[in-house]
Structure 1
């Protein structure tokens, strides 16, 4: 990645940009094949895994305490994230050239886009209204720190800040080692 964009100093702008990156990676996976598809899919898996972990550690706690009906909103987003992680985990174990891959990917895409719209509507707008520039910046810093330590593959069942912080570092180490081995063996595009 290049330098940090100025908009990344605002947590909402950072997460919105990542939602766009996720949509673009879905497009790339769907329009490519072979090694190019495998590489694009690895990028998508990694971005989704670290993005959701960071939201679970930073955004959901803010939502619980600061958004009207925040507990309900956070629980709904966490349930959506768990479902998406389960589908992503199945896909992560598939060959990207398998005929079942693209239909399953399409299901995941619909779920992820619905989830992103719900975040943008029920959480991001509220964060923007109720957090000053300093808080938006500190949350962006916290998201980037969480992403730096996050697992790079989905781990269904860790959809809470406590579980992410307890289990995340071990899962991240295992994931990042697996990624390095894949890359060294030429299995990552």
Structure 2
């Protein structure tokens, strides 16, 4: 199972796009594990997926999307608003799945729908946002943004929360929610459930 305590660690020459692409691949792998496993293995894979999705999207909302709004030829607000809308819808579905748990009758169908939505969202980022970042942002800044994304992920909530639905809300309440989530994650991990 992928190590999601440290999502996709960038090397010294990797930039933020490399980091996010590695995390997209990690997310796709986790979906395969959740869908293909049962029992505790499924619960563990789902917990890893929830955590990675939560920290990944928080960092994108705080760092990547605001930067992409201002890039030349990037579609500005409409392109970013489309990505944010996709993230909000996925977050609602994810929250419902977390509340119902992997043993819920609707889980199998809902996780496939979520997978399709999340992977489509990732492909849009890869097709529209990431090339613009590489084209218009200096390489040194892209490398430093990888560290900024990592820092944002380290202070991000690890679960979907209704009060943290925007970059501003994430910045305001995210660190407090992150502490609560991370304590809960450690307790869950140590208790084996």
TM range (shorter): over 0.9
Is 1:77 the counterpart of 2:83? The answer is: yes
Is 1:36 the counterpart of 2:15? The answer is: no
Structure 2: give runs of 5+ residues left out of the alignment: none
Q: How many residues align?
A: 187
CA-to-aligned-CA distance 1:53-98 (integer Å, 9 cap, x gap) = 0000110110111143211111111111110000000111123133
Poorly superposed stretches of 4+, deviation over 6 Å: none
User: Match of 1:124?
Assistant: 130
User: Match of 1:88?
Assistant: 94
Structure 1: give runs of 5+ residues left out of the alignment: none
Distance in 2, Cα, partners of 1:50 & 1:134: 24
Question: Is the CA contact (8 Å cut-off) linking 1:9 and 1:141 kept in structure 2?
Answer: no
User: Match of 2:57?
Assistant: 52
Residues 12 and 29 of structure 1, relative CA distance in 2, 3 Å threshold: same
What is the CA distance between 1:7 and its match in structure 2?
7.0
User: Match of 2:17?
Assistant: 12
Tell me which moved more, 95-104 or 49-58: 95-104
Question: Is the CA contact (8 Å cut-off) linking 1:56 and 1:159 kept in structure 2?
Answer: no
SS at match of 1:111: helix
What is the CA distance between 1:157 and its match in structure 2?
5.4
Question: Is the CA contact (8 Å cut-off) linking 1:22 and 1:44 kept in structure 2?
Answer: yes
What is the CA distance between 1:180 and its match in structure 2?
2.1
User: Match of 1:154?
Assistant: 160
The alignment yields a C-alpha RMSD, in angstroms, of 1.8
Question: Is the CA contact (8 Å cut-off) linking 2:10 and 2:146 kept in structure 1?
Answer: no
Tell me which moved more, 98-107 or 5-14: 5-14
CA-to-aligned-CA distance 1:148-173 (integer Å, 9 cap, x gap) = 10000012453432221101011111
**Of 71, 90, 98, the match for 1:66:** 71
